[in-house]
A and B are shown apart, each in its own frame.
Chain A
Amino acid sequence: MSAIAPDGPANGIGPPLWLLAELTYRCPLHCVFCYNPVDFAKHEDELSTADWLRVLREARAIGAVQCGFSGGEPLQRNDLEILVAEAHQLGYYTNLITSGIGLSEERIAWLKEAGLDHIQLSFQDSTREVNDFLSSTRTFDLKRKAAALIRQYGYSMVMNCVIHRMNIDHVERIIELAVELEADYLELANTQFYSWAHINRDQLLPTHEQVIRAEAVTNAWREKLGNRMKLFFVVPDYYESRPKKCMNGWGNVFLTVAPDGAALPCHTARMLPGLAFPNVREHGIGEIWYDSEGFNRFRGTGWMKEPCASCPEKENDLGGCRCQAYMLAQDAAAADPVCDKSPRHAELVATVAGLQSRDERAPAIPLVFRGRKESLASERLF
């Protein structure tokens, strides 16, 4: 007996089921793979509490059910508890996506009281040295404290660790740490190359052998742990031959609101040239979702060019990621070059091969840590 209802009409625009509230770009960490825009420090005019309350109400009214509070570090906003309480009262399932920095016992008690349903905690590595190096902070012990609080307050433990060349060989120890912290879920998410991770791409892209090894280790642990812990391993797009169905389709499920009120189909979409994304300070959420040019531009399959337009797989992946197409093929309407049917795929393969055969003895290019000063100094937007 099937229990799942079919989705709505194929051609109609469904509701935005997921509201991702990026409350702030402020963050105590300086991660080298941060997905916030490179020019984040030029968008410091954050929405007010009243603005966010209105966004929550309007998105809920048109059908959003999952609400994610992220950032930056959402705990940097001292109205987080007010927003969570309102979201809960409106009937959202509320998720906090945090580094754990700033999660005191007082705050977690308030968040629980406000009705927070779920917390996802990020780690950078299994060791204090690498965690603290990659985030350019001394935060490893704070994260372990946050993990203990999450357990103490009866939440399931969902951990996320961004994986790249510098920590991919520690996957086993990362899994062991998750076991020690009694995680229910662990996501080992390989860095995808946007924003700060793109700046540091040469140092962050693991070799194919590393990816294969790490995946094998993960599979062995999955077998060993059974139902005790669910393990997810996300491969870097650059090693795929078919693109991902990015954001489960443009303007299909996800509505992201950036700290300054820009409404986006995904958190990196602002990089795409010639597209005007509406701001929630000026437009209602319903109008933004259903009628704005920004949300309609890449909906469905009508916008596609060849090879996507006649591809029998076009409904599976919707042509991949628009930002990746723009970054790698300089055309947001092109096939994602991750796809081996893309005329630009060979170039990506060559780039990846070049990075893999990089001479380890060559002088190291310095990593760029995400920071306000670096953001203001950078000429790139994303």
Chain B
Amino acid sequence: MQARIESPDTRTRAPRIARGFRLQWEPVQSAHVLLYPEGMVKLNASAGEILKRCDGTTPVEAIVGDLEQTFATTGLEHDVRAFLDLAAEQRWIEWT
């Protein structure tokens, strides 16, 4: 039984790291990792960049803008939203 994830309004709603999870940079692994009870996910570079912006106050639109500016590129919205859907499904993030 999997609840359907409703994609929230990206202009107003902001994702944050879910309770019980912690995101941190691990120098030994040269990667961001997501820690949770008795487990760990080692994230790839783009997942790490997105999740570290999930502070519970920045709406998705602003996260996309920040990423596009930081990496001097455009057209990231689709990928960011696809990743956030996946992250919500995995319960890594919650919507404020």
A positions within 8 Å CB-CB of B: 1-5, 7-8, 15, 17, 62-63, 65-66, 68, 91, 93, 95, 117-118, 120, 156, 158, 185, 223, 226-227
Contacts and interface: CB of A to CB of B under 8 A. Distances in A.
Contact of A3 (B28, B40, B83): B83
Contacts of A117: 20, 22, 35, 37
Contacts of A3: 41, 43-44, 46-47, 83, 86-87
A118 B1 CA distance: 26
Given A5-B45, A118-B20, A158-B37, 9 more contacts: A1-B86, A3-B41, A4-B47, A7-B42, A63-B29, A65-B26, A93-B37, A120-B38, A158-B38
Contact of B35 (A65, A156, A185): A65
Interface in B12-52: 19-20, 22, 24, 26, 28-29, 31, 33, 35-47
Contacts of B20: 117-118, 156
A17 B26 CA distance: 11
Interface residues of B, number: 30
Given A15-B28, A227-B2, A1 B40 contact: no
Nearest to B50: A3
B82 A1 contact: yes
A17 B38 CA distance: 11
A151 to B, nearest CB: 13
Given A65-B33, A158-B37, A227-B2, A5 B44 contact: yes
Interface of B: 1-3, 19-20, 22, 24, 26, 28-29, 31, 33, 35-47, 79, 82-83, 86-87
A1 B22 contact: no
Interface majority SS (helix, strand, loop, mixed), chain B: mixed
B38 A227 contact: no
Contact of A4 (B2, B36, B42, B79): B42
Given A65-B33, A66-B38, A118-B38, A5 B22 contact: no
Contacts of A91: 24
Contacts of A158: 37-38
A4 B41 CA distance: 7
Contacts of A7: 42
A117 B82 CA distance: 29
Q: Which 5 A-B pairs rank lowest in CB-CB distance, beginning with the nearest?
A: A63-B28, A226-B1, A3-B47, A93-B35, A118-B37
A78 B21 CA distance: 28
A5 B82 contact: no
13 contacts: A1-B46, A3-B46, A3-B86, A8-B29, A65-B33, A66-B39, A93-B22, A93-B35, A117-B22, A156-B37, A158-B37, A185-B37, A227-B3
B24 A5 contact: no
B40 A227 contact: no
Contacts of B43: 3-5
Contacts of A65: 24, 26, 33, 35, 40
A5 B31 contact: yes
B79 A1 contact: yes
Contact of A95 (B38, B47, B82): B38
A95 B20 CA distance: 11
Nearest to A64: B28
B37 A95 contact: yes
A158 B33 CA distance: 22
B7 to A, nearest CB: 15
Contact of A227 (B1, B24, B33, B47): B1
B2 A15 contact: no
Nearest to A224: B1
B91 to A, nearest CB: 9
B78 to A, nearest CB: 10
A1 B46 CA distance: 10
Contacts of B2: 226-227
A17 B40 contact: yes
B22 to A, nearest CB: 6
A257 B41 CA distance: 24
B27 to A, nearest CB: 8
B65 to A, nearest CB: 19
